[in-house]
Amino acid sequence: VGVDYIVNVILNQEGKLYRAVAGDLKEAYLAGVALSRAIREVVFPELCDVAITASGYPLDQVVYQGPKISSSIYRIPRPIIREGGTVIIPMEATEGIGFHTEFFDLMSCCGNNPEALIAKMYAEPSKDQWGAQIWARMLQHLRMVIVTRNMSASQVEAMGMSHFTSLQAAVDDALARYGAKCRLAVFPEAPSVLLRLAED
């Protein structure tokens, strides 16, 4: 059938209408991208060793939403975190695994081996693999930490991640790993920023 005309909206950080674009599919889309970049892009001066990626309610209520909270620092043309860096994800996780048992089963099925998990998802696709794919790709290159009091250490560690119940303890642990020159970045609204390295 084809697409002759689109209408898209750009929301601000508060989730309110900022602008709307309409017209030709490609032209209107690119205009929307430019408007989004104008209000959401953060030019990052250098690579960090540790990134704290948060979002708060409602995304942090169930671990299934965690990939949305953490992926903005990594799923970009050039990640803003060093290879071997640490991503700390503070989550309320009041629902824990919640109804998304397929996601947890995927994340915990391969003995903390992200390569094996990726191979399994290619061989046996499933509806809840989107988040497991994101985290598996990140775990190939990064150490990941979930900070919550509402999931057990064994649940978090089964997914190949470290567990802390205190954000300060997680930060202290990360700083000890990387030493005095550690570069730490905090993203309180991580899903809503577009990151770019300054040299790009």
In the predicted structure, residue 77 carries a pLDDT above the cut 90: no
pLDDT at 100: 87
pLDDT at 10: 96
Average pLDDT over the chain reads: 94
Compute the distance between CA of residue 19 and CA of residue 11 in angstroms, rounded to an integer. Answer: 7
- The whole model's pTM is what? 0.91
In the predicted structure, residue 183 carries a pLDDT above the cut 90: yes
pLDDT at 1: 83
What percentage of the chain carries pLDDT values higher than 70? Answer: 100
